[in-house]
Amino acid sequence: MMGLKSYDSLKAAVCACFGSDVGIADSTSVSGGDINRAACLLLSNGERVFVKSNTLENKSFFEAEEAGLAAIASAGKIATPKLICKGCDPGSGTSFLMMEMIDPARPVRDYWEVFGRELAALHLADTEKLVPGGRYGFTGDNYIGATEQINTPKDTWTAFFRECRLEPQFRMAENCFDSALLKDILKLLDRIEDILIEPERPSLIHGDLWSGNIMTGHDGKAMLIDPAAYAGCAEADLAMTELFGRLPDVFYRSYDEVYHIQPGYEGRRDLYNLYHLLNHLNLFGRGYLMSVINTVKRYTA
Ligand code: ADP
């Protein structure tokens, strides 16, 4: 996979991508992200671009985001913003990722139905080029929010989910738990094979599929932004759409028509979401502790 061209300043990036006489006329910050700063740049030729930035040390956030967006784009099933370039801007002490600006647009009438079908098609797409041998993982480690997400390929989904998803997050949150709960956590990790099922195939999943990461493109259809992508179990993406409130029912129905949701999914859903609750606990603090504890207890009672 050819990576994006990298530039050593934002100005150089604009000149190289839009013309040597083009500069930045204006910059408006965009809110909504938890991790990066985001801005809409108005260029002197009238075009607008979206730029995410972070510190120089965190430039790997954008390399990982690029890899995730490129993987979803190359499956050809669902739109993602077109990437323009990336780079570092030592003057402002930032690294950046520049991409197509998505303007607010009116959703098509059957928005959720189409999105359900497209997400199912993404989940059915071949993952061999990303992780050969039908294994679970990704081309490299990436991030879930600002937390490193380990993607070392594993032969089974259950091993992957235990070793690369739950265990690292539990280790980071270790200080939050008393000894009784630590025992329950070990019990839960031991029981993953009894609770989860091995999917028929690995699916390329978005990995952080809450509603804030679904935008509407100029054609009125859903676009995916800000992935934490990997070849995993499709159910993990569905589960995340239910963590902070469900998407409309028609989404799940049309998804199921294209890629059948396996019986028992509801019983596995909260275990997938435990990963995200733990990540929120690790990133944003103890407001998420009770939800984590309750989920652990429910699966070990
Ligand atoms: P973070 O990595 O900090 O979570 P996001 O990628 O979620 O940041 O982006 C922050 C906000 O910027 C989003 O909530 C969305 O509203 C907006 N946004 C993201 N990508 C684009 C884009 N390509 N064009 C326009 N707005 C965007």
Q: Which of 208, 226, 237, 270 is catalytic?
A: 208
Residue bearing the CA closest to ligand 1, atom 25:
102
Of 143, 275, 290, 128, the C-alpha closest to 196 is 275
pLDDT of residue 33: 81
Residue bearing the CA closest to ligand 1, atom 19:
225
Atom of ligand 1 nearest to the CA of 36: 3
Q: What is the largest CA-CA distance in the chain?
A: 66
First to last CA, the chain: 46
Using a 6 Å CB cutoff, which residues line ligand 1?
30, 32-36, 38, 50, 52, 81, 99-102, 212, 225-226
* φ, ψ of residue 148 in degrees (nearest 5): -65, 135
Q: Tell which one of 101, 225, 244, 276 to mutate to probe ligand 1, the residue whose CB is within 8 A of the most ligand atoms.
A: 225
SS3 per-residue string spanning the chain: CCCCCEECCHHHHHHHHHCCCCCEEEEEECCCCCCCEEEEEEECCCCEEEEEEEEHHHHHHHHHHHHHHHHHHHHCCCECCCEEEEEEECCCCEEEEEEECCCCCCCCCCHHHHHHHHHHHHHHCCCCCCCCCCCEECCCCEEECCEEECCCCECCHHHHHHHHHHHHHHHHCHHHCCHHHHHHHHHHHHCHHHHCCCCCCCEEECCCCCHHHEEECCCCCEEECCCCCEEECHHHHHHHCCCCCCCCHHHHHHHHHHCCCCCCHHHHHHHHHHHHHHHHHHHHCHHHHHHHHHHHHHHHC
**The CA-based dihedral angle spanning residues 56, 57, 58, 63, taken in that order and rounded to the nearest 10 degrees:** 80
| 131-147: burial string, b at 16+ Cβ within 10 Å, e else | beeebbbbbebbbbbeb
CATH top class, domain 111-300:
alpha beta
pLDDT of residue 1: 52
Calculate how far, in angstroms, residue 148's C-alpha sits from the geometric centre of ligand 1: 19
pLDDT of residue 34: 82
Calculate how far, in angstroms, residue 94's C-alpha sits from the geometric centre of ligand 1: 17
Domain spans in the chain, listed from the N-terminal domain onward: 6-100, 111-300
* φ, ψ of residue 230 in degrees (nearest 5): -165, 165
pLDDT in 10s for each residue of the chain, 301 residues: 568 999 999 999 999 999 999 999 999 999 988 899 999 999 999 999 999 999 999 999 999 999 999 999 999 999 999 999 999 999 999 999 999 999 989 999 999 999 999 999 999 999 999 999 999 999 999 999 999 999 999 999 999 999 999 999 999 999 999 999 999 999 999 999 999 999 999 999 999 999 999 999 999 999 999 999 999 999 999 999 999 999 999 999 999 999 999 999 999 999 999 999 999 999 999 999 999 999 999 999 9
Task: Fill in the amino acid letter for 176.
Answer: C
Residue bearing the CA closest to ligand 1, atom 14:
32
141 as an active site residue: the answer is no
Distance CA(16)–CA(105), nearest Å, equals: 29
Of 167, 255, 277, the C-alpha closest to 205 is 255
Of 4, 18, 53, the C-alpha closest to 33 is 53
Residue bearing the CA closest to ligand 1, atom 1:
33
Distance CA(29)–CA(40), nearest Å, equals: 6
Atom of ligand 1 nearest to the CA of 212: 14
- Residue 49: beta bridge partners? 41, 100
pTM (two decimals): 0.97
Homologous superfamily assigned to 6-100: Phosphorylase Kinase; domain 1 (3.30.200.20)
Q: Tell which one of 54, 211, 226, 244 to mutate to probe ligand 1, the residue whose CB is within 8 A of the most ligand atoms.
A: 226
Calculate how far, in angstroms, residue 225's C-alpha sits from the geometric centre of ligand 1: 7
Q: Tell which one of 28, 41, 53, 215 to mutate to probe ligand 1, the residue whose CB is within 8 A of the most ligand atoms.
A: 215
* φ, ψ of residue 113 in degrees (nearest 5): -65, -45
* φ, ψ of residue 279 in degrees (nearest 5): -65, -40
